[in-house]
Structure 1
Amino acid sequence: MFTEFEFTLIVGAGPTGLTLARVLQRHGVPFRIVEQSPALPAGSRGKGIQPRTQEVLDDLGLLPAFLATGRDYPELLIHLPAGGTATQRMDEWHAPTPAVPHPNMLMHPQWRTAELLADGIPVEFGVGVVELTPDAVTLSTGEVVRPRYVVGCDGGRSTVRKALDVPFEGESFPAEQLIIADVRVPGLSRDNWHIWPGAGQRSLRLGLCPMPGTDTFQLTAPPSDQPIEQLAESVGLTITDIGWRSLYRANIRMVSRYRSGNVFLAGDAAHVHSPAGGQGLNTGIQDAYNLGWKLAYEDLLDTYEAERLPVAADVLGISTRLHRKAATASADAMRRDDPALRQLGVNYRGGPLSAEHRDTPGTVQAGDRAPGPILDLLRGPHWTLLAFHWTGDLPAPTPDCHVHHITDPAAATAYDAHEPTLFLVRPDNYIGCATHNPQDVTAYQHRLRARTPA
């Protein structure tokens, strides 16, 4: 057992908390992760893994397992009220490129996402937080602990957020509800996401999406007095089993701050979204990815809120616009072709950890995600100095910084580097410093007091 003030307490073992645990684990930061439920949450829930999140999973060494158990999003097969069918894609298929090796959203049920993230993580199930003070945390077991930091990853009804009395600002739309369930429907093709429109062919009557690697479909339908078994029968189908089931109520909210003293918020504890566009789970995973390495480099913790709060606000705006299209039965309500949804453009330009020293920066700048051709060099908890077209001396790196002279033309193109250029890449694979002068790298590392994690 850890002694007082030695460890970080993660509250909640959903995808956000589990990702944070994995990042802390590889940085050698002691942690405990508690989950008040007796087991990992069931249900397909959030099923879309965006391209940027796939890059996070790649960095964590998990992407092969996700690709093995997931699939690309299938084409929609719309069963028309007058008979016949029509097909539609939510987004066109994007060909992989050196800069973006994983350009398409991956379908992966959330229960399996949690399962893969939890492998090797010592989750304490059946343990919640009942009291949080500036000095101590009381667990539901009666144990009183004094962690160095607490991170609330405990969902939209977050006990941690409520204990901090942080406002959860936004709107609720109680009239806008959706039944979501995992069901078995024998005889229904698993090649498509099946949609039965409502009146006027713009509203949703019933949706059945095949979950990869299972024999189940995720059912979506507006609430009605008609049981979902009868709803299926009305379109000529039979539901033989109903597993996890939930009633989604539209809540669109976020906090105004991510930190209070030694307590942080992440994921749904900090922002709740419409499921439209598959943004909530992905934003939570990336919250954890941003915070985790900073808990190893403690001098940087103030930058967590500065970087992630604006991102959450932007993402909330995107998912809200999509939600409004669905709620108003817009003709393009099912389209998901906005490039912002892939989250590859999320950046921290102009932020406290972004130092762009070039008079004429290229398309890839300090604060941007590191492009794809050399992701294998970035994989791991270290900083990375990438030297393009470089023949002179390089600054002596800190012990946790790897140096690579890049000669691959595809990588130079992806980084838009056409002259001697240095990119210092952070442990979360965002570019911290971009320069033509090695002294800028030295000054950057000195300013951040980068050190080898414990």
Structure 2
Amino acid sequence: MSDVVIVGAGPTGLTLACELARRGLDVRVVDRSVAHGHGSRGKTLNPRSLEVLADLGVGEVVAAVGLTHLRYRKYYDGVRVSELDPFAEPGPTADAPYDGMLFLPQWRLEEILRDRLAAFGVKVELGTELTGLRQADGKVAAAFAGGGRAESRYLVGCDGGRSTVRKLLGVSFEGKTASEQSMICGDVEADGLDPGVWHQWFDREGAVLLSPFRDSRSWQIQADVERDADGTVLEPSLAGFQRRLDLRAGETGVRLRNLTWSSTWRVNVRMVDRYRAGNVFLAGDAAHVHPIAGGLGMNTGIQDAWNLGWKLALAAGGRAGAELLDTYQEERLPIAAWTLDFTGTLLDAVGEALEKPGVGLEKVVTDEGRGLRIGYRWSSLARGRGTHCLEPGDRAPDAPCHDRDGRAVRFFEVFAGPHFTLLGFGAGTAAAVRRLAGEDVVGRVVEVDLIDSDRHARRAYGIDGDALVLVRPDNHVAMITEASDADGVLGYLRDVGAVSGQQAA
């Protein structure tokens, strides 16, 4: 019997699998497809997702194959009207090392995550289609087409907007589909274009966008749909993409060829009313779908997995029970609702870009889209007091420091891995830190003596005196408390099952 079966091997499922596998759990990842995906699909990673991937150990690999600071070049009625880097500001900061979106094809990210997963001895099982689910006695029995079966303690549906897991659970997926708001996407090669910019042609009727990828002849093309005389949307084709480009861009001389993937996208705004049914969970597009404006789809799924992973690991180890698992829905369901509203607003901003010659897709670049402000202040896992700039539940900021030997050390380096981190600000925390370091906390306990010589940490955390800050494994602030409050911190760790010997009731 496995600890966890994950259905769906996209970015959400693979992120979750890597997080669980590095904790030593027995994980199976199944996918109905007979081959790994090859389309560019979701092509942007926001700064928060880059922090997640760095923690999982693939940050440098992702950065090496992605594009940052991609310039947006806008044309209106075939005439070039603007060009800018919407991520030029604010630049990397002490508390946020990633300053903008990173562009790469989704198939490449999935390949990187599969390689990382393979390092833990786990391989995606292709051609494995889920057909049935049954829960009994704290276990989940899954049935697959062809007669295969799997039994696990938990199962997670990361199988997309048409999720079989969601349908088998009977979970509602309320919302709307706006068929009149449609778009065709594809991967093509394009001759005669500057590969250093994202080309965006607009007029009052529609748009064609061609986005490059690093060290690749392939571009992602997005365009308004073609319709026949009856108004029926035509299936995307190479000839159709060329017609849309010629219509929106005019005589550019750009020729498209080698269409390797295509899809028709319609505006869907839907979400579930619950993320959990017994020992089965939903994540990513299986739980929420929304307009693609702002590129939040893949990122929201990755961050669903990041939230669920450490909780599921503690539960699978018998240390935590339903109360901790319930916080996955408590924390992520409001984020899904916010994302649906926010991306709807961004979609309206795209509509404005069709009307104003000087405005382009930079209108959808916002601080909120970076993911760094997303937190869980309302959560039952957010405890203690706040500071003038940080509250329990918020993302834990990075900070550059030095150790006693003068070596540069960032907070994110200390956070990386499947453990809680206790930060002791000031000499008054020494006794509490020593006491807590002696506890047998799940994961690893490492005492790192850091010097905040430039006060980056104190500024980022808003702490002037002495205080303890407990950081969760998903790098959100669990607790801010008094310098001597070792009992409070230990109580928190016991409540979530992170102290050895504390079994879930």
Q: Same fold (TM over 0.5)?
A: yes
Secondary structure in 2 aligned to 1:297?
Answer: helix
Check 1:172–1:452 CA distance in 2 against 1; reply closer, same or farther (3 A cut): farther
d(CA) in 1 for partners of 2:79 and 2:313?
A: 59
Secondary structure in 2 aligned to 1:341?
Answer: helix
The yes-or-no answer on 1:230 pairing with 2:243 is: yes
- Aligned residue identity for 1:29: L
More moved, 339-348 vs 84-93: 84-93
Q: Residue 404 of structure 1: CA displacement?
A: 3.9
Aligned to 1:420: 466
Cα deviation 1:296-317 (Å, max 9, x = unaligned): 1112211111111111111221
Secondary structure in 2 aligned to 1:209?
Answer: strand
Does the CA contact (< 8 Å) of 1:17 and 1:153 recur in 2? yes
Aligned to 1:381: 418
- Aligned residue identity for 1:430: H
The yes-or-no answer on 1:348 pairing with 2:365 is: no
d(CA) in 1 for partners of 2:154 and 2:200?
A: 46
d(CA) in 1 for partners of 2:388 and 2:81?
A: 47
- Choose the corresponding residue for 2:210, options 195, 208, 211: 208
- Aligned residue identity for 1:195: Q
- Choose the corresponding residue for 1:254, options 251, 271, 284: 271
Does the CA contact (< 8 Å) of 1:176 and 1:327 recur in 2? no
Aligned to 1:197: 202
Secondary structure in 1 aligned to 2:92?
Answer: coil
Secondary structure in 1 aligned to 2:255?
Answer: coil
The yes-or-no answer on 1:317 pairing with 2:303 is: no
User: Any residues of structure 2 matched to 1:9-408 within 5 Å, and which?
Assistant: 9-81=5-77, 83-119=79-115, 120=118, 121-135=122-136, 136-199=141-204, 203-225=205-227, 227-233=240-246, 234-235=250-251, 236-298=253-315, 299=320, 300-327=324-351, 329=354, 331=356, 334=361, 335-356=363-384, 358=385, 361-373=387-399, 374-391=411-428, 392-394=430-432, 395-396=435-436, 397-400=439-442, 401-408=445-452
More moved, 31-40 vs 141-150: 141-150
Secondary structure in 2 aligned to 1:381?
Answer: coil
Check 1:246–1:82 CA distance in 2 against 1; reply closer, same or farther (3 A cut): closer
Q: Percent identity?
A: 38
Structure 2: runs of 5+ lacking an equivalent? 228-238, 400-410
- Aligned residue identity for 2:128: V
d(CA) in 2 for partners of 1:82 and 1:209?
A: 17
Does the CA contact (< 8 Å) of 2:10 and 2:158 recur in 1? yes
d(CA) in 1 for partners of 2:9 and 2:76?
A: 41
Q: Residue 403 of structure 1: CA displacement?
A: 4.0
Cα deviation 1:187-227 (Å, max 9, x = unaligned): 2111111112123xxx5331111122311111111111572
d(CA) in 2 for partners of 1:178 and 1:69?
A: 27
Does the CA contact (< 8 Å) of 1:109 and 1:212 recur in 2? no
Q: Residue 230 of structure 1: CA displacement?
A: 3.0
Secondary structure in 2 aligned to 1:7?
Answer: strand
Q: Residue 82 of structure 1: CA displacement?
A: 6.1
Cα deviation 1:402-443 (Å, max 9, x = unaligned): 444443122222222211111111111111111112222122
Check 1:312–1:330 CA distance in 2 against 1; reply closer, same or farther (3 A cut): farther
Does the CA contact (< 8 Å) of 1:291 and 1:304 recur in 2? yes
Does the CA contact (< 8 Å) of 1:95 and 1:103 recur in 2? yes
d(CA) in 2 for partners of 1:79 and 1:363?
A: 41
Cα deviation 1:351-398 (Å, max 9, x = unaligned): 111112x3x623122111111121000111111111111344013233
- Could you list the structure 1 runs, at least 4 aligned residues long, displaced by more than 6 angstroms after superposition: none
Does the CA contact (< 8 Å) of 1:195 and 1:204 recur in 2? no
More moved, 161-170 vs 400-409: 400-409
Q: Residue 333 of structure 1: CA displacement?
A: 6.1
Q: Residue 78 of structure 1: CA displacement?
A: 2.0
- Aligned residue identity for 2:377: R
Check 1:85–1:25 CA distance in 2 against 1; reply closer, same or farther (3 A cut): same
d(CA) in 1 for partners of 2:500 and 2:211?
A: 46
Does the CA contact (< 8 Å) of 2:76 and 2:203 recur in 1? no
Does the CA contact (< 8 Å) of 1:178 and 1:247 recur in 2? yes
Across the two proteins, how many residue pairs are aligned to each other? 445
- Aligned residue identity for 1:337: V
More moved, 93-102 vs 333-342: 333-342
Q: CA RMSD in A?
A: 2.0
d(CA) in 1 for partners of 2:152 and 2:303?
A: 23
Q: Residue 259 of structure 1: CA displacement?
A: 0.1
d(CA) in 2 for partners of 1:405 and 1:386?
A: 10
Q: What TM-score do you get using the length of structure 2 for normalisation?
A: 0.84
d(CA) in 1 for partners of 2:78 and 2:153?
A: 63
More moved, 329-338 vs 126-135: 329-338
d(CA) in 1 for partners of 2:421 and 2:81?
A: 52
Check 1:205–1:366 CA distance in 2 against 1; reply closer, same or farther (3 A cut): closer
d(CA) in 2 for partners of 1:103 and 1:189?
A: 24
d(CA) in 2 for partners of 1:231 and 1:19?
A: 36
Does the CA contact (< 8 Å) of 2:469 and 2:478 recur in 1? yes
Does the CA contact (< 8 Å) of 2:293 and 2:346 recur in 1? yes
d(CA) in 1 for partners of 2:330 and 2:271?
A: 15
Does the CA contact (< 8 Å) of 1:387 and 1:421 recur in 2? yes
d(CA) in 2 for partners of 1:67 and 1:412?
A: 29
Does the CA contact (< 8 Å) of 1:388 and 1:406 recur in 2? no
Secondary structure in 2 aligned to 1:450?
Answer: coil
Check 1:137–1:54 CA distance in 2 against 1; reply closer, same or farther (3 A cut): same
d(CA) in 2 for partners of 1:48 and 1:39?
A: 23
Structure 1: runs of 5+ lacking an equivalent? none
d(CA) in 1 for partners of 2:424 and 2:380?
A: 23
- Aligned residue identity for 2:431: D
d(CA) in 2 for partners of 1:83 and 1:320?
A: 29
d(CA) in 2 for partners of 1:83 and 1:417?
A: 52
